[in-house]
Chains A and B, each alone.
Chain A
Amino acid sequence: MTLGLVGNRLVSFAVTLFVASVVIYGALYLAPGDPATLLAGGHATPSVIASIARQEHLNQPFVVRYWDWLAGVLHGNLGESFLYKQPVASLIGGRVLNTVFLVVYASILIIVGGVALGLLAALRRRTGVVITVGTSIGLATPSFVAAIILITIFAVNLKWFPVFGAGTGFAGRLSHLTLPAIALALSWLAYTAQLTRAAVHEELGKEHVETAHSRGIKQRRVVSRHVVRNAMIPITTVSGLTVAGLIAGDVVVEQAFGINGLGSFLVQSALDKDFASVQAVALILVTAFVVINVIVDLWSLVLDPRLRARAA
């Protein structure tokens, strides 16, 4: 029963991924100008363009071209950047680690910080007001604004953290990527905190919590076993949305802090009109988004047994 459910989800996401890849690849044909010129990066001579057209078999129908590209991607060949005269895969190799580190770091901050703040706000009334005001401002702060505020305070004045770059090694990255992670996490942390507060507040008023109290269970245990556990359900559901925003915000934060990651590479490629690179990175980011959504979806099934029955 559950297996069918999981399979269902996977199929649905495979379809989304497929369509997304078609859109990404197809954008090449929607753009003004012919594909060869675009791939050449717009600064090429007619002979270069012609050779690219031959090399990429651009005279073949769209479906064949798309299939070749997709097959290549699945084998690890992400296309060739004509600007840098290198396979895209080698260009992004080192950068992936920085981006993953940053996004994971930010995610931990969001989950731990957001849930903790939300819980606090729901359980203690006076701190709750302060937290609500703080999160309203945090919600409205774009990641690049948070970045420059953090840079101003911490890097220039207090000099606790380095200002640019991603650093090397684990400890180096931890130090370099702390401010960026905070900048990236801020608005999502605020959102999660507000959501958590609302969910916990609602859960606290539920009857099954009253039952637990009536049986003499300690408040701390009531909160952890009945309130938080149940409130996690709506929070997890919304997490899928936040991931897309994180991926987008990561692009901005990498630029702001001069981090050598996928995001900054994407910006640079877009500006340089290095189309092959843009395609490849966009595909990676969208895939990551879809995959994480599947995981979150499946995790919801684990958390709430009612969903398993309902969807079967």
Chain B
Amino acid sequence: MSATAAPVLAPPPAAGARRGRRRSTLLRDPVAVAAGLFILGLVAVAVLAPWIAPYSPSAGSILSGNEGISSAHWLGTDSFGRDLLSRLIFGARLSLLGPALIIAISTLVGATLAIAAAWIGGWPDQVVSRVADILFAFPGLIFAMIAVSMFGAGLIAPVIALSISYTPYLMRVVRAAAIQQRALPYVSACYVEGLPAWKICLRHLLPNVAPILLVQATLSFGYALVDLAAISYLGLGVQPPAAEWGLMVSEGQSSILAGHPQESLAAGVMIILTVVAFNLLGDRLASRQGMELA
């Protein structure tokens, strides 16, 4: 699924600050814990790649191409003879970095715009909402392809395009929650006390909006990963000889017909597992917050 399928959440009825207690119950949820551990493990693997991977991701010769599972190569080799396991490990770096950037940018921009729009209200709010509505009309992938045709293939153009494409999702969710919060009496109390607007937003609105933001970000991460992998698969994203899961799926495709599906399948499975983990974590976070997924 791509960007445009990222579910949009409806905020819970004004939630109180029960954060401490909630965190402890999350740890008791086996599914959430498993998903969380998997993600943490993946991040650790990506960070420690140069020390964990048995081989360099670019080392190999065609002579040992497309070998099966062996003691030397635990997952076999790809068509160029490079160790698959090492490529998967190094691939985690780019495969996780891209979506992380996308989510970080879109969250930052989206949340800022949303809180500002919710606070100021009036026509700026209307304009921002209209722009978001129009952005919803662009499938993220198409946006990315336009960007690539303008700026060339690589990681930068698609990441920026997808960040723009994902912003309305984060924005819509945060805006709804922020508007709800803004209407609460404590906000007016702060305002009356003379607290400047930006401080109210930062110190009060933001922390209360943070939980729902976290959930949407977690869920969107999976979709961003899929979108970016798809772009690399198409050859418009990460370029060879770099290691990235989407790229590996496409590189291994020609070997499938020859009876060696391991490269494509291994990379594909990694993508599925990672997205499942993020989806599960996001779901569990959401249900604990008492939110509904639209």
Given A245-B4, A248-B142, verify A145-B249 contact (CB < 8 Å). yes
Whether, in the assembled complex, A252 has its beta carbon less than 8 Å from a beta carbon of chain B, the answer is: yes
Bin chain A's interface residue count. 35 or more
Q: Which of B1, B145, B230, B261 contacts A282 (CB 8 A)?
A: B145
Q: Is the interface of A mostly helix, strand, loop or mixed?
A: helix
With contact pairs A136-B280, A251-B234, A270-B148 given, residues A256 and B5 touching in the complex (Cβ less than 8 Å)? no
B208 CB to nearest chain A CB (Å)? 27
Chain A, 26-49, contact with B by CB distance < 8 Å: what is the 0/1 string? 010011100000100000000000
Give the distance in Å from the alpha carbon of A166 to the alpha carbon of B279 in the complex.
34
Judge whether A303 is part of the interface by a CB distance below 8 angstroms.
no
On chain A, the residues within 8 Å of B235 by CB distance are 267, 271
- B133, B141, B153, B294: most-surrounded residue (chain A CB, <10 A): B141
A151 touches B256 (CB 8 A): yes
Cβ-defined partner of B149 (8 Å) among A145, A269, A285: A269
Smallest distance from the beta carbon of B2 to chain A beta carbons, Å? 4
Q: Does B265 sit within 8 A of A, measured CB to CB? A: yes
User: Which residues from B are CB-within-8-Å of A300?
Assistant: none
Instruction: Assess whether A248 is in contact with B141, with CB atoms less than 8 Å apart.
Output: yes
Q: Interface digits, A271-283 against B, CB 8 Å rule (1 contact, 0 not)?
A: 1011100100010
Total A-B contacts with CB atoms under 8 angstroms apart = 161
Beta-carbon contact of A136 and B279 below 8 Å = yes
Contact partner of A187 among B1, B145, B152, B253, CB < 8 A? B1
Between A136, A244, A278, the greatest number of chain B beta carbons within 10 A of the residue's beta carbon is seen for A244
Q: A196 at the A/B interface (Cβ < 8 Å)?
A: no
Q: Which residues of chain A (121-151) have a CB below 8 Å from chain B?
A: 136-137, 139-145, 148-149, 151
Whether the Cβ atoms of B233 and A144 lie closer than 8 Å is: yes
Q: Which residue from chain B places its CB closest to the CB of A287 in the assembled complex?
A: B137
Minimum CB–CB distance for B141 against chain A, Å: 4
* A228 proximity list for chain B (CB < 8 A): none
Partner of B230, one of A143, A152, A271: A143
Q: Which of A23, A191, A290 has the most CB of B within 10 A?
A: A23
Is B222 a contact of A156 with CB atoms below 8 Å? no
Q: How far is the CB of A156 from chain B (nearest CB, A)?
A: 6
Q: Which residues 241-256 in A have Cβ within 8 Å of B in the complex?
A: 241-242, 244-245, 247-249, 251-252, 255-256
Cβ of A289 under 8 Å from chain B: yes
Residue of A136, A156, A271 contacting most chain B CB atoms (<10 Å): A271
A270 to B152, CA, bound (A): 8
Q: Is the CB of B280 within 8 A of A252?
A: no
B275 located at the interface, meaning its Cβ lies under 8 Å from any Cβ of chain A in the complex = yes
Complex formed: what's the CA distance from A100 to B275 in Å? 29
Closest to B263 in A: A148
Partner of A148, one of B136, B146, B230, B268: B268
Q: Is B259 an interface residue (CB 8 A)?
A: yes
What would 26 A/B residue contacts be, using CB atoms closer than 8 Å? A16-B134, A19-B134, A38-B150, A136-B280, A137-B276, A142-B1, A142-B272, A142-B275, A144-B230, A144-B233, A144-B246, A148-B253, A244-B4, A245-B4, A245-B5, A247-B142, A248-B139, A248-B140, A248-B230, A249-B141, A255-B234, A269-B149, A271-B235, A278-B145, A278-B149, A286-B137
Residue positions of A touching B, CB distance < 8 A: 16, 19-20, 23-24, 27, 30-32, 38, 136-137, 139-145, 148-149, 151-152, 156, 163, 187-188, 191, 238, 241-242, 244-245, 247-249, 251-252, 255-256, 266-267, 269-271, 273-275, 278, 282, 285-286, 289-290, 293
Known: A20-B134, A245-B2, A270-B149. 14 other contacts (CB 8 A): A23-B138, A24-B146, A139-B1, A139-B276, A139-B279, A140-B271, A140-B275, A142-B275, A145-B249, A148-B252, A244-B137, A252-B233, A270-B146, A278-B149
